[in-house]
Structure 1
């Protein structure tokens, strides 16, 4: 059956159509903005957030003990394997759709929709959740500095649930920055990333002076007996199958690595900037891999400092690193941590919203969402319509959904996409061997197969309730596709992409 057949099961986007978007023949085009170093800054900006100050401590205290350092290594290695796969596909198909477009070209429209729908889940929930955490840290920072909020406003600032003014503020601000164009957002990103790396460097340098290697001697911590609060739905699937639903031990280390994967989410967002990157087939793979390596080194360094400063059984889950510094007599570092968290989360919100904007822009350009959302504003050279829509939806989700409890859904959506990308490398090597690539996965097919295996391993360590929620989300997505996307896709008519008319070509290419 030919590629252009009207059946949505088999119709695929031609590779030339995906690459034309980058070379200038797009139906709706985005301007060049990102240089090679900008892509690294983008990756570091989205991957390093407040989790660097809290995630290691929480997982050490509740799941992995000092073995959380190994959990970070496992999650980092898994992410690096997948990053190689993203790098190859990005170099061959440099487009803003990232994994969604890769899947569209390689596997077909139905699978592309599933991946795109999972990306929407990942980026939307991550953006909404991070903005809520930004509010908590910003409120704490100002309180610690002696700032008092007006009494009528105080109940609506720094809340983990319910209407929150700071959450609304950061989402409005970042949506406005993105709407005004990529270059404005990029300047802000560079400055904030540099500032937060300075704060993290201070944490590492000061923390090392209080390091006690005896705190690492308990790797792995013996398994903890399951308490009365541990039920089947909230246990790691793998641990439940092997009769260890509780924490610690090697199962705890692997279960923690599945959650910690959340910290590395973001290198895939770099791929969404491919259409706006200079020399994308070469610069995007380098940006993905370099930003992930930098992030992994920084995370492991902070995790070592965290578990080296204080024994895992004395870690305060609410504010692990801050209280560790307090216990060490370094109270001033609490302000550094809070400032670093606020700066870190600001860039995370910015890049996540940029990534979601580009994914939905691409899906709209292909007709799976209303095509009017794919219009590029002539003044700001930005897809303002979809940006404003995403900003509005993110505000509603952040304010009215308990997003802080849905972090595992971000992880499962991400791992689902990772599996699709790794499988895409294997299939594209076989079906499109002559397609030009700026990067090739080393030791293929072993690295893509290892990527799939590692992601599946992390998936089975997620809680059963997370799987049920994800299944429900995908079921809703299938319904949306059947009712709208299947009939409105640009491939739905005669199986061919409409030609790029002069009124639809990218006008702002440099």
Structure 2
């Protein structure tokens, strides 16, 4: 007898065990290259590289470079970029294989449903909410910093209380504006004969620009705004061009002022402060875990397998090409920035703007800030889009309330999921400190990437006959290396990040056990257990 379809499914031990490990079928369009493809294969290797670079370059390089350098790695932040990029490449290859096999909405949530069952799909879907939604809040804070800096250049000064999350301690540096007060900044100021207590102080109330940009882009998504490949390429050229201009100007300044470079890089790896992750080599490792966020966006390439002209050839080029280009650019920016500005002064939402001011290239300031604003805006839009689609996919499967699966009758967009994502992202940007959001995004993403790498190994064992337009080489060693490096970066993150991840997962599982497990469509497809089969081993 089939389970009821109109309300809750019965919760018995046998059916509960079945539901935990019920798999979602791999879509027919992924099983054979000969089946009709609902999407046009129009993306070649150049478009895929541009897509990856467009998704990757954003608040990570424009914001987190300063935060990680000032509080964890110092000038050695460039090594953190190399380590993080290497681990990201391993996870990206696993994404590519699964995306070419399962080209469906929902990203890693769908992959987990096809490989590890509903319970793990829920876990990874909930982790993706942590990644996408909290990224929106984090990126909006960076957007706010650059927007406020651009307004300051034209004589418009926003009250500092309106440009920082509640409770953020701010101090006004002469000629630089308001920055976050840290112990490292106070120490640096004392070394230059300035006491922080003598400078103007303020405390943040709410980050108004962050709220404004998230809500505005959410409204555009409800109306069905799309980014074409041509527009994305134009944005990529503009924002990478702005970063290259900064690198060129900074290196020109440093070659004529080598004493500045030597002073700011002495020492290259600041000595550890007696705590793991507070500078030293442990700080480089922790910095790699935190700066992992800077590489997010490559999954845009991995999920384009069904739209690639030749996915087996072009997906690896797109993924590795975009990651390689971004890693090189990130390292160059980190070298230029920490060479021109002492790392203790970089605890600001707009560190590259600080670097521009330090090298005296005021003509470059509007270019860099416009590049940051446009690039970060596109990242906010992409992650809002991704978050709303994850909510929509989970609601379609019955794991979240059905209202989130509603489609607007006129604009044909998941407007409820988009509005919920926008409001939640705006609240995070308004009130949460940037480092808290960064730690949560990093640990949640690393956890999701570990599950994706494991998904490749599981599918290779359980469904080896499925066609794989792109195959990860050196299985099982490469996926296992991805698991190991991602876990190592998770371990490097502070205990508070682990505590928040565990709390987030407990909250998610409470929601799953209280709602989703009873109303999932997979549950309704299961036969009602008989008395003889009402046990896990039946």
- Aligned equivalents of 2:151 and 2:89: distance in 1? 37
**Structure 2 counterpart of 1:135, from 144, 164, 182:** 144
Match of 1:8 in 2: 19
- Aligned equivalents of 2:413 and 2:33: distance in 1? 15
- Aligned equivalents of 2:136 and 2:32: distance in 1? 27
- Aligned equivalents of 1:487 and 1:185: distance in 2? 40
- Aligned equivalents of 1:289 and 1:358: distance in 2? 25
- Runs of 5+ consecutive residues of structure 2 not aligned to the other structure: 1-14, 167-204, 528-538
Q: 1:415 to 1:22 in 2, by over 3 A?
A: farther
Q: Say yes or no: does 1:35 pair with 2:43.
A: yes
Whether the 8 Å contact between 1:58 and 1:317 is mirrored in structure 2 is: yes
**Structure 2 counterpart of 1:50, from 24, 35, 59:** 59
Match of 1:99 in 2: 108
- Aligned equivalents of 1:21 and 1:144: distance in 2? 56
**Structure 1 position 400, deviation (Å):** 4.5
**Structure 1 position 6, deviation (Å):** 7.3
Q: 1:285 to 1:180 in 2, by over 3 A?
A: farther
- Runs of 5+ consecutive residues of structure 1 not aligned to the other structure: 227-243, 497-510
The normalised TM-score by structure 2 is 0.78
For the residue of structure 2 that corresponds to 1:44, the secondary structure is helix
Match of 1:175 in 2: 218
For the residue of structure 2 that corresponds to 1:138, the secondary structure is helix
Structure 1 stretch 484-493 or stretch 60-69: which is displaced more?
60-69
Q: Say yes or no: does 1:389 pair with 2:400.
A: no
**Structure 1 position 80, deviation (Å):** 0.5
Whether the 8 Å contact between 2:28 and 2:35 is mirrored in structure 1 is: no
- May I ask how many residue pairs the two structures share in their alignment? 468
- Aligned equivalents of 1:284 and 1:486: distance in 2? 35
For the residue of structure 2 that corresponds to 1:159, the secondary structure is coil
**Structure 2 counterpart of 1:493, from 500, 507, 524:** 524
Q: Say yes or no: does 1:158 pair with 2:133.
A: no
**Structure 1 position 476, deviation (Å):** 0.6
**Structure 1 position 355, deviation (Å):** 1.4
Match of 1:503 in 2: none
Q: Say yes or no: does 1:423 pair with 2:466.
A: no
Match of 2:383 in 1: 352
Whether the 8 Å contact between 2:340 and 2:358 is mirrored in structure 1 is: no
Q: 1:484 to 1:284 in 2, by over 3 A?
A: farther
Match of 2:236 in 1: 193
Q: What is the 5 A alignment of 1:226-305? A: 226=274, 244-245=275-276, 247-271=278-302, 277=307, 281-282=311-312, 286-305=317-336
**Structure 1 position 81, deviation (Å):** 0.9
Match of 1:232 in 2: none
Match of 2:514 in 1: 483
Q: 1:128 to 1:54 in 2, by over 3 A?
A: closer
Q: 1:108 to 1:285 in 2, by over 3 A?
A: farther
- Aligned equivalents of 2:266 and 2:55: distance in 1? 32
Q: Say yes or no: does 1:126 pair with 2:135.
A: yes
- Aligned equivalents of 1:24 and 1:389: distance in 2? 36
- Aligned equivalents of 1:370 and 1:18: distance in 2? 28
